[in-house]
Each structure stands twice: as structure tokens, then as C-alpha cells.
Amino acid sequence: MLAYLEAEGVRNLRPARTPLDPTLTVVAGRNAQGKTSFLEAAYILATTRSFRARDAREAIANGVDLARVKGGLGNAGEDLLEIACAWGRERGERLLSVGQFERKIQDYLGLLPALVLTGESLRTIAGSPAERRRFVDRAVAAADPAYVGALGGYRRALAQRNRLLREGRPDREIAPWDEVLSGTGTVVAERRRRQVEAWQEDVGGWPELFPEGGTARLAYLESGSGKGREGEKIIDRLARVRDRERRYGMTLVGPHRDDLGVEAEGQDLLRQGSSGQVRAALSALLLAQARQVQRQAGGQRPLLVLDDVDTDLDAVRCAALLEAARKEGQVLAATSKPDLLNATGALVLVMEQGMAQVREGREAR
């Protein structure tokens, strides 16, 4: 678990060591006080990436060249393992450390597996296949840190192949990249598919939060695999669309165009469900992802980052989400409506002008 968090040079946060509860910490306060930035700092510490921006350099405070977050892993009262992530504005390079020693990213990821769901998730994930892929990729990486390398290999091959298509290069130059893209893409697609199948086993486990979960069906949808072509290899799909790819100057099939489907009672929930249904479905998916992380991480509970936790959820479902989440991981939740969370028994941090203060009468356990 993450026992405390420190951030320096991150957006509007003021430097301080802030204790966290082992089960549930709620960050409350008015808008624009730093609640989301505090959650962002914790997520960067865990994953080295921001959930608010594609480039973590956007999280560096104005007038500052270097940002740093650090935290202590372990139980309060015991010797903690300090981890830290620092990154600069000029080139965005990350300096990672565990204890007193620098670490490469492959040795750092997985120390604090983390999952995130934000108030914007409803609109971005429901409306964009690219965001649905990011939602899946974040969860796969949390369960299997080596996936980050596999996904990076696929993206590099994709960029090279797209360049050749844009330049109108002949087939003899593109064909070797078909092989590379197919090989790396098969690994990415298979790891995603295995995770989605694992989430299916658990997604119906929280009927108070997601009543449709018992009938919900998840599917990993491969691009270019129409009816009768299920299981077709990526390299064969590439061959079928080569002429179209040359016209558009881009790769048209592969994991970068795959999708996640969530269906219940014949309805595509992510595209046709109400706001409350979509939010509940994504919340149940996050909980299912947390269980899969624990299975693959030898029982280690992930950090669950829930920004604007009450968005599109009534008080009953919000309470059900928090109660379920604290059983599946260590929860860090933010809200501008603390009255919804009075009965949770959480450690409440009141955020004001970038500083988090423990609410009077409550100490971290």
C-alpha cells in the first residue's frame, strides 16, 4: 500500500508529506483547489504517466523545470520502501528510484499497480474507441507490467509501416514490416483478449452498483475481423486491405483499431446506455480489473484512483462503489460533494489552495 505521498513542482500542489489510509482516502474540497492534481501525482508515482495528459510534462507547475513525486510503500509503523519519479520540462525524461538506487522502468513498474477512473471517463470512453483502448491498456499494464514493452514495440512498428505507406513505397519494402507488425500486434491483442475474458468472470459481482452485470457480455473486437473471419491472422487482414491502405496512407487493421464491447440485454451499454448505466458499467469493470491485478500480482492490492467519484452515480450507487472498491484495493477518491461520503469511515483530506489537510478528528491508520 501507499502510506504517504509527496509532490513537488506538480501543477498547483504545495510541497508536503500527506498520509494516506490503507483502505480509503477521500480528497474533498471546492473546485480548482488541487484535488485532481493530487490524484494525478499519485498515479504518476505508480505508473510514470498522467491520466490527464498524454505528456506528463503538462503536469509540471508553471515556472518550474522539474517535478518530483515520491511515496512510501508498506504499512504505517513499519519500515517503508520509498519510491520516486522525477521528470523535467525540457526533454521529459524520467528519473526513477527505489530506496537509494536508480531503477529502469521495467524494474519500477509493478511496485505499485494502479487503476484509474475519472469523471470524464463516461464521455471519453463511451464516445471514443481510442479511449476504450487506453482504458483496456492501462488495466493490462497494471496486471502485467511487461505489457508496456510489448505495446511500445507494436507502436514503433506501426509508425514505421505508416511512414512507408504515406511515402508510397513498394510492397517489397512494406512486406517485412507486415511481419513485424503482425508479430507484435498478435502479442498485444492476445494479452488484451485474455484480460477482457478474465474481467467477464467478475463483472457481475456487484449488483448494487451494476444491476445489469449479471447479463453483461464483454468482447474484445478485432478490427477487420468481420463475420466468418473470426481468428484471422493480422498479416492476412493486412493483405486484404492493402489497396485501401495505400489510398489512405495508413494501417487500417490491427490492435490500434480494435475495440471493447460491453453488451447487456441486447443493448450496447457504452454507446446506448444512460449516463448512470455507463458510469456503473465502467465502475464494475474497474473492480473486475482490480481483482485480475491481484491474481497476477500474487495478491497485491492495486491503488484505485477515482476522480470525481460521484459523477453520474446516485448516493446509493456511489456508496456501493466505495464499499466494493475498498475491498478490492487501496482507494484514493476525490469529490466536491463530501456530504455523499460522510458515512464511509474514510480518511478525509480537505484540499485548499494546493494543500491537503487531514480533517480534524481522523488520523491515517
Global pTM reads 0.93
- pLDDT given for residue 338 in this prediction: 65
Q: Mean per-residue pLDDT for 64-81? A: 91
pLDDT band at residue 360, thresholds of 50, 70 and 90? low
Assess whether pLDDT exceeds 90 at residue 230.
Answer: no
- The answer to whether residues 32 and 150 belong to one domain is no
Q: Mean per-residue pLDDT for 25-54? A: 95
Q: Of 249, 271, 299, which residue constitutes the final position of a domain?
A: 299
Does 234 fall in a domain? yes
Q: When comparing pLDDT for 176 and 272, which is higher?
A: 176
* Cβ count near 362 (within 10 Å): 13
Helix or strand run (H / E) with residue 18: strand 17-19
- The answer to whether residues 336 and 256 belong to one domain is no
What's the rounded Cα separation, in Å, for the pair 221 and 260? 6
Task: Give, to the nearest 10 degrees, the angle between helix 147-166 and helix 171-202.
Answer: 140
Supply the range of the domain harboring residue 333: 1-113+301-365
User: What does the mean pLDDT of the chain come to?
Assistant: 92
**Mean pLDDT lowest for which of 70-74, 130-134, 274-278?**
274-278
Does 121 fall in a domain? no
Assess whether pLDDT exceeds 80 at residue 228.
Answer: no
Q: Mean per-residue pLDDT for 123-135? A: 89
pLDDT band at residue 18, thresholds of 50, 70 and 90? very high
- The answer to whether residues 186 and 314 belong to one domain is no
Q: Of 278, 299, 320, which residue constitutes the final position of a domain?
A: 299
Identify the CA nearest to 333 among candidates 303, 305, 363: 305
User: 63 exposed, middle or buried (CB, 10 Å; 0-12, 13-18, 19+)?
Assistant: exposed
- The answer to whether residues 267 and 325 belong to one domain is no
Q: Find the CATH number of the domain harbouring 34.
A: 3.40.50.300
- The answer to whether residues 222 and 82 belong to one domain is no
- The answer to whether residues 60 and 169 belong to one domain is no
Assess whether pLDDT exceeds 60 at residue 32.
Answer: yes
- The answer to whether residues 200 and 310 belong to one domain is no
Spatial contact of 218 and 134, defined as CB atoms under 8 Å apart:
no
Does 196 fall in a domain? yes
- pLDDT given for residue 337 in this prediction: 77
Does 352 fall in a domain? yes
The DSSP line for 241-310 is THHHHHHHTS--SSGGG-EEEEEETTEEHHHHS-HHHHHHHHHHHHHHHHHHHHHHTTTPPPEEEETTTT
- pLDDT given for residue 143 in this prediction: 95
Identify the CA nearest to 144 among candidates 197, 200, 117, 106: 106
- The answer to whether residues 66 and 201 belong to one domain is no
Spatial contact of 67 and 87, defined as CB atoms under 8 Å apart:
yes
